[in-house]
Structure 1
Amino acid sequence: MEQVLHLNVTQDIRHGTTIIFICCILIIIASFIDMWTGIDAARVNKEPISSRALRKTVTKIIDYLRVLVFAVLIDVLGLCFTWYAIPYCAILATLGVLLIEFRSVIENSKKKRSHAGEVVDMVARIISCAQEKDAEELIKLIKKDKEEGK
C-alpha cells in the first residue's frame, strides 16, 4: 500500500512539474515573439532600434515568471484537496500571459501595417455575420483586399 501511494504521489509531482515547466517555456517564447514583432514593426516604421528592447523583454519575462511562481504557490495549497490533480492556477496564469502577449503581437502587426494585425478584426466580423447577405458582403470585401494586395 505504501509503495502504491508513494508511486502515485511521485507521478503526480512529476506531472505537475512538467506542466509548470511547459508553462515557463511558453511564457518565454511568447515574450520573445512579442519582442520580435516589436523590432520588426520598428524597422518598417524606420524607428531606431536599441538593446533596450532585449532588456525590457528580459525584465518582462522575469515579472511574468514571478506571477507564475505565485500561481504555483496557490497550486501547492491546492494539493490539500483530492480533486486538485494538476496546477490549475499556473495554467490560468500562463493563459493570461499568453493572451497579453498575443494582444501585443497584434498591436505590433497593426503598427507594422501588416495584414496579420487585421486577423482579430476579421474574425470578429465573421462571427458577427448573422445573415447570409452579411457573409457574402464580407467575402466580397476580403476578395477585394486580396486583389489590391497583389
Structure 2
Amino acid sequence: MEEYLKFIVQDIRGGVTIIFICSMLICIACLMDMWTGIDAARANKEKIRSKPLRKTGVKIVDYFRLIIIFVLIDILGLCFPWYNLPYGAIIGTAGVLFVEGFSVVENLRRKRSHAAEVADVAAKIVKCLTTEDAEKIIKMIKEEKK
C-alpha cells in the first residue's frame, strides 16, 4: 500500500511540475510580446501608455483560464492508465506559445518598417522655414523612392 501511495504522489508531483512550467512559459511569452510591442512603438515614435501592461495582465489571466480547462481535461484523463502526463496542459500551452510567437513576429516586422523614417521626414518638412527647403526634402524623398 505504501509503495502504491508513493507512486501516486510521485505521479501527481510530476504533473504539477509540468503544469507549473507551462504556466511560466505562458507568462514569459506574454511578457516578450509586450516587450517587443513597446520596442516597436519606440522605433515608430509612438506614445507609450500603461495600457499594454494592463492588456498583458488580462491576456495572461485569460490564458490561465484556458489552461485550467485543459487541466480539468487532464484530471478526467487520469481515469485511463495510459494517460500519465498532463497532455491537455501541454497542448494548450503549445497553442498559446504559437499565438504569442506570431504576435512577437508582427511586432518585430512593425519595428523594422519604415514608419519611423516617415515620421522623421514629416517633422523635417514641418520645420522648414521656406517652401524651397520643403521642396528640396520632397525631391529627396522622390529620389529615394526610385
Under TM normalisation by the shorter chain, which class is it? 0.7 to 0.9
Residue identity in the other structure for 1:20 = I
Distance in 1, Cα, partners of 2:79 & 2:19: 18
Identity %: 58
1:41-66 Cα offsets, whole Å, 9 max, x none, are: 00000111000000000000000000
TM-score using structure 1 length: 0.74
- Corresponding pairs, count: 113
1:103 aligns with 2:102: yes
Distance in 2, Cα, partners of 1:81 & 1:8: 16
* Cα displacement (A) at 1:4: 1.2
Partner of 1:46: 45
Distance in 2, Cα, partners of 1:49 & 1:75: 40
Runs of 4+ in 1 over 3 A off after TM superposition: none
Partner of 2:141: none
Distance in 2, Cα, partners of 1:47 & 1:99: 27
Distance in 2, Cα, partners of 1:88 & 1:4: 25
Specify the SS of the correspondent of 1:98.
helix
Structure 1: tracts of 5 or more residues without a match = 115-150
1:111-142 Cα offsets, whole Å, 9 max, x none, are: 0017xxxxxxxxxxxxxxxxxxxxxxxxxxxx
Cα RMSD over matched residues? 0.8
* Cα displacement (A) at 1:74: 0.2
Partner of 2:24: 25
Partner of 2:135: none
Specify the SS of the correspondent of 1:112.
helix
Partner of 2:33: 34
Partner of 2:112: 113
Using CA pairs below 8 Å that are at least 6 residues apart, which structure has the higher relative contact order? Answer: 2
Greater C-alpha radius of gyration: 2
Distance in 1, Cα, partners of 2:30 & 2:77: 28
1:77-102 Cα offsets, whole Å, 9 max, x none, are: 00000000000000000000000000
Residue identity in the other structure for 1:77 = L
Partner of 1:7: 6
Residue identity in the other structure for 2:44 = N
